[in-house]
Amino acid sequence: MAKIMKCKKKIIIAGPCAVESKEQIAIILREASKRHVDFVRLPLWKPRTKPGFSGLGDEGIPLLVEAARQGINPATEVLLPDQAKKVMYAVFSQVENTRLLIWIGSRNQNHYIQREIAHIVSVDKRVVLMIKNQPWNSQEHWEGIIQHVLDGGIGKDNLILCHRGFIPNGHNPHHFRNVPDFTMSMEIRKKTGLPMLFDPSHTGGSIANVIKVAKQAATHEFDGILIEVHHNPKKALTDAQQQLTWVQFDKLLKLI
């Protein structure tokens, strides 16, 4: 059993489901600067079940740079290795004294891509790589993702995990968007020795369920939280139903 690399304090990653505009991010950065947020969530590339708004893509990279300039560590999901390269170069060429979080999402299950992204980010210790579990419930597969990423060359000191639940398969009494498996996530946390965050947004799927599942997760030894927060969720272009306002975010942190 590996020794858990415990964080001194909970890791808080908060921000919108997707970067939508310069104006939106100006508000997000202003609100994040008022709070203890380790990384501001700023996804540029959004995988979609059906065609729709899929993020600003390369055009949004300057907004990650702006976050770093304001002293707020940016975080974004990448789908391809080239995207990781672009983000790292843009941010670190403009702001040296910052940290950057890049994550591999649950839908990104090509192990060649997983390993290549890990290889790219491993060259700079200022980058933290976060990997989410796959959509289907399988501990073996989740552990396999972790091993593929480690084989890519990333060091454990720069790697964290995130549990975002699994696609419901029958039993789902709380009607969550994705069903959490707290037992499995805690077992993997102990087995790998890696910090484990929890994503109540993609697990809950609605404001009420986000709050409910976050409270449930608080009874387990998660090392932090990745949560969607929007200044005006009703007008969000993606996942409007599960994004908290900053006031709701403040209240939730007091409960967990």
Q: How far is CA 153 from CA 51, 150, 180, 218, in A?
A: 34, 5, 29, 32
Task: Decide if pLDDT at 99 tops 80.
Answer: yes
- Give the Cα separation of 87 and 5 in Å (integer): 27
What is the SS3 assignment for 104?
strand
Q: What's the predicted TM-score (pTM) here? A: 0.95
- Which pLDDT does position 3 carry in this prediction? 57
Task: Decide if pLDDT at 44 tops 80.
Answer: yes
Task: Decide if pLDDT at 121 tops 60.
Answer: yes
- Which pLDDT does position 51 carry in this prediction? 84
- Domain range list for the chain: 11-46+65-246
Q: How far is CA 128 from CA 27, 101, 146, in A?
A: 25, 5, 14
Over residues 172-195, the mean pLDDT reads: 97
Residues 6+ apart with CB under 8 A from 156: 5, 150, 193, 194
- Give the Cα separation of 209 and 23 in Å (integer): 29
Contact 205, 227 (CB under 8 A): no
Q: DSSP for 30-46?
A: HHHHTS--SEEE-----
Over residues 221-228, the mean pLDDT reads: 98
Give the pLDDT band of residue 48 (cuts 50, 70, 90): confident
Contact 199, 214 (CB under 8 A): no
- Which pLDDT does position 256 carry in this prediction? 86
Over residues 174-182, the mean pLDDT reads: 96
In the block, tokens 């890696």 appear at 194
Q: Within 10 Å of residue 147's Cβ, how many Cβ atoms?
A: 14
Task: Decide if pLDDT at 230 tops 90.
Answer: yes
How open is the CA angle 108-113-118, to the nearest 5 degrees? Answer: 100
Strand partners, 132: 162
- Which pLDDT does position 216 carry in this prediction? 97
Token reading at 116: 């290549």
Contact 143, 177 (CB under 8 A): no
**Looking at domain 11-46+65-246, what is its CATH homologous superfamily?**
Aldolase class I (3.20.20.70)
Over residues 152-176, the mean pLDDT reads: 95
Residues 6+ apart with CB under 8 A from 206: 177, 241, 242
